[in-house]
Amino acid sequence: MKDIRSISPSTQICAVIGNPIAHSLSPAIHNAAFAELDLDFVYVACRVEDVKNALAGMRALNNFRGMSVTIPHKIEIMKYVDEIAEVDRSIGSINTVINEQGKLVGLGTDGPGALKSIVDAGVNTDGKSILMLGSGGAARAISFTLARNAKLGELSILDVSENMLQRLTADLRAGTDAFIKSELLTENSLAGAMEDADVIIHCTPVGMHPNKDASLIPAEFFKPEQVIFDIVYTPLETKLLTEAKSRGLKVISGVDMFINQAVLQFERFTGVDAPIEVMRRVVLEHLGP
């Protein structure tokens, strides 16, 4: 956290809003990064119920530079910003607001954070078959980002929720040029999809507390050379990743996506490159055993 004695009228304010918000790691991550680069910024957490007036306050304060947005406000907040990229409108939620001299620009960093994690891992998705498990908010962000920014062979989506699955499938087909397949998630549909998948992206809560000993994918379904990306970041290594590693597969942790979405926010807030290793260290200190 910035030394309170150095906070001045020129200090740029950033905040995370949500309800609840006490659990957020964002203040620790961003303040450590600000301190590392000696930037005149401070980051706080705010429990917010009235999103409309929260953004009115942001607009009125010249030094309120940036806002991170978490549950339950990622959808509603879109109504109160001035500008949103087309891809984020298609996704239907945002997690970041930037105050550009009174103009509020909304954007999402979850999808780009996931794509950065894939690229940083050295995984080439060109022409590859991607299997996504889940069709909720994170899956929407990642699938639209991949469909718009990668030259996929095909994107297959499986989920137990028929309504969400159909909606995401229809939106992707309408809003991207990617070849989209979808099916209800069953043991048979999963087995068939795993046969053809090059990269598997797990976007459901399975593997999180209280189901830390669970995995959607039986280990015998893995194929050589597959890449397994689990967006769950607590625990640090899910059962899915442990079993994939034991089979010699390349894995990408949800911690990478979590850090990268914060890195992309930081760089929009400040206009400078983020100290990624400092941010990673803070996350691991808070999430580690």
Give me the active site residues, please: 74
* Ramachandran angles phi, psi of 186, nearest 5°: -135, 170
Q: How far is CA 170 from CA 78, 110, 141, 174, 277, in A?
A: 21, 21, 15, 6, 39
For the record, the structure tokens of 253 come out as: 């942790």
Which one, of 109, 120, 55, 117, lies nearest residue 87 by Cα? 109
95, 69 Cβ separation under 8 angstroms: yes
β-bridge mates for residue 106, sequence order: 84, 97
Residues in the chain: 289
Chain centroid to CA 51: 21
63: part of which helix (H) or strand (E)?
none
Q: In sequence order, which residues have a C-beta less than 8 Å from that of residue 193 and are 6 or more positions away?
A: 131, 156, 158, 183
Determine the Cα–Cα distance for residues 27 and 14; give it in Å rounded to an integer: 9
